Amino acid sequence: MREIVFDTETTGLSFVGGDRMVEIGCVELVNRVETGRTFHAYFHPERDMPAEAERVHGLSAAFLAKHPVFAAGVEALLDFLGDAPLVAHNAGFDFSFLNGELERCGTAAVCRSRMVDTLAIARTRHPGAKHTLDALCNRYGIDRSHRVLHGALLDAQLLAQVYVELMGGRQIGLGLVSEAAPIVVEQVVAAPARTRPLRVFSPSDAELAAHAAFLKKVKEPLWGVAASE
């Protein structure tokens, strides 16, 4: 099964309010394993970059002005996405910008039935815990030390690892045991018991005489009465 994990960076929080997508990063998974194929692009937003957004991802208006607008790269993006399910963290946000940009350039929106939201999955798996990407990386021991600022491709790569863990870990679909292994019972044959003649321990005449002499010294003995009588 082919899936695409993706992330976006934007000028703000609302496409309807005038914000634009400025970066997208995509990671291809097949059977929940990264294939090494990725898609990454920056886009000229055709507007200014608010300071608060730049502090999050570090993308300035001057830097983005050197890159094409979304419409110029849409065909390559759609070719990479294909018809695969699209996995994102807080996916409704990313879908609103992806579909907003697609519709703005006259392209059909991506059906939301393809949306897989890792935030919703994490809330189900770990109720009451923190569900940010950083918190989930910490929970699953995923190295994020190189994540200084938000970056669409880097965050998609981290999210791909988180997604695999949320869905059960790396052993999904590996088919480690295809059939029940036969139970082999080792038959243990007992060694024949060793036999030896019965040993009889009878007192000697001297031992019997010594015992009788001892009994004569005992006043009113409880044993040896029948013998003395």
pLDDT value for 167: 96
Q: Given this model, what pLDDT does residue 209 score?
A: 86
Q: 57, 89, 131, 150: which is the annotated catalytic residue?
A: 150
Residue 32 falls inside a structural domain: yes
In the chain, how many domains are there? 1
In-domain check, residue 87: yes
Asked if the structure places residue 53 within a domain, the reply is yes
For residue 70, tell me if it sits in a domain.
yes
Specify the pLDDT at position 212: 80
Residue 41 resides in a domain: yes
∠ CA(78), CA(79), CA(81), 5° rounding? 60
- Give start and end residues of each alpha helix (H) in the chain: 51-57, 61-64, 70-81, 91-104, 118-125, 133-139, 152-166, 205-216, 225-228
Q: Is residue 223 part of a domain?
A: no
Structural domain boundaries, residue 30: 2-166
| Mean pLDDT per 10-residue section of the chain, whose length is 229 residues | 98 98 98 98 98 97 98 98 98 98 97 98 97 96 87 96 93 43 38 55 81 79 55
| CATH number for the domain harbouring residue 30 | 3.30.420.10
| Residue 180 falls inside a structural domain | no
89 an active-site residue? Answer: no
Q: Is residue 67 part of a domain?
A: yes
pTM of the model as a whole: 0.73
- In angstroms, the Cα distances linking 117 to 47, 89, 114, 120, 176 are 29, 6, 10, 6, 29
